C-alpha cells in the first residue's frame, strides 16, 4: 500500500489551492493507493484551523474512492480529539496519530491518548513513530495494548529491531524512505512516502519487485529529499516539476538553499 504524504503549497504566505489540486490529481493519475494530508510533510504544525479544514476538504473532494488519511498532531488529548472529530466529519477514512512532542507523556498517558482519539472518531488509526522529530519513541511494552485501538503503524525511526516489533502488532508502513527496502524485509507492507510526491510510480515499483536501477534511483531521491529538514527539498522538487508554483515554506522553516537547489537541479538534468 502506497500512501503519499502530501506537501502543502504556499504562494506569498497563503495556501495555493490550485497547486494543491494539481498535485492531488497527479497522484491519482499515477495510481497511488491512498493520500495523507496534514502530516509532517504538510507543515501541519504551521497551519491554522481553517487552513487544515480547507486542505482536508479539497483532498476529500478530489480523492473519490481513494482512501484519505488525515493527520492528528496535537499533543493535547482534548485538542487531538477535536481534530479527530473534525477529520471524521470531513470524510477521512483513517487518522495518522502523531506522537506527543515536548510533553514527555507516560506510556499509560499515550495509551489513553490513542484510546480517546479512537473512541471520538470511530476511524482506523495509524500510530506514527517519529523519535527524531518528536523526541518521543513508542514504548515497546505497550504495543499489544495499543493494537486494541490502532491497526496500523508508520515507522519513521531507524531502529530496525523496533520496526520488526511493530510489524508483529500492526500493519506496518515505512515512514523513512531511505530505509524502505530494509523495513520491507522486517515486515512493512507499504509506505507513507515523502518521495512519492514526485515519484509515485517509482514508489509503487519499490513496494513490489524493484530492479537494481529502481533501488539506486530511489535511494538517491530519498537522500535528496532529506538534504534539508523535510519538506524543504521535496517542495523544491515539486516546483521543478511545475506542480507547485513556488517552493515556499513557513517560518521557522526556510526555503531550499542554493546547495540543495544545485543538487536537485543536477539530478533533474541527469534524469530527464
N- to C-terminal Cα separation, the chain: 27
Which residues are tagged catalytic?
128, 154
Extract the C-alpha cell encoding 181: 527496502
Distance CA 94, CA 87 (A): 9
DSSP 3-state assignment of 245? coil
Extract the C-alpha cell encoding 34: 491512498
Distance CA 197, CA 27 (A): 7
> Residue 1 burial (CB < 10 Å; 0-12/13-18/19+)?
middle
Residue identified by cell 491554522 is: 48
Distance CA 73, CA 117 (A): 11
What is the CB neighbour count within 10 angstroms for residue 55?
23
Amino acid at each position: 500500500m502506497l500512501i503519499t504524504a502530501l506537501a502543502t503549497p504556499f504562494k506569498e504566505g497563503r495556501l495555493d489551492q490550485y497547486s494543491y489540486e494539481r498535485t492531488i490529481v497527479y497522484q491519482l493519475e499515477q495510481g497511488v493507493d491512498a493520500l495523507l494530508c496534514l502530516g509532517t510533510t504538510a507543515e501541519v504544525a504551521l497551519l491554522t484551523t481553517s487552513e487544515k479544514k480547507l486542505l482536508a476538504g479539497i483532498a476529500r473532494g478530489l480523492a473519490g474512492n481513494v482512501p484519505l488519511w488525515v493527520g492528528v498532531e496535537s499533543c493535547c488529548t482534548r485538542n487531538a480529539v477535536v481534530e479527530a472529530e473534525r477529520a471524521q466529519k470531513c470524510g477521512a477514512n483513517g487518522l495518522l496519530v502523531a506522537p506527543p512532542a515536548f510533553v514527555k507523556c507516560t506510556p499509560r498517558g499515550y495509551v489513553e491518548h490513542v484510546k480517546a482519539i479512537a473512541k471520538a472518531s470511530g476511524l482506523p488509526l495509524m500510530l506514527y513513530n517519529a523519535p527524531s522529530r518528536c523526541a518521543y519513541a513508542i514504548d515497546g511494552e505497550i504495543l499489544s495494548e495499543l493494537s486494541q485501538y490502532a491497526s496500523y503503524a508508520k515507522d519513521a525511526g531507524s531502529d530496525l529491531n523496533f520496526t520488526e516489533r511493530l510489524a508483529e502488532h500492526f500493519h506496518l508502513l515505512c515512514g523513512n524512505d531511505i530505509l524502505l527496502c530494509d523495513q520491507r524485509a522486517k515486515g512493512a507492507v507499504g509506505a507513507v512516502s515523502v518521495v512519492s510526491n514526485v515519484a509515485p510510480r517509482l514508489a509503487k515499483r519499490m513496494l513490489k519487485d524493484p530492479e537494481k536501477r529502481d533501488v539506486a534511483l530511489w535511494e538517491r531521491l530519498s537522500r535528496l529529499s532529506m538534504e534539508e529538514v523535510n519538506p524543504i527539498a521535496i517542495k523544491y522538487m515539486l516546483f521543478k516539476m511545475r506542480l507547485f508554483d513556488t517552493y515556499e515554506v513557513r517560518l521557522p522553516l526556510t526555503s531550499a538553499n542554493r546547495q540543495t537547489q544545485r543538487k536537485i537541479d543536477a539530478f533533474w538534468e541527469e534524469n530527464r
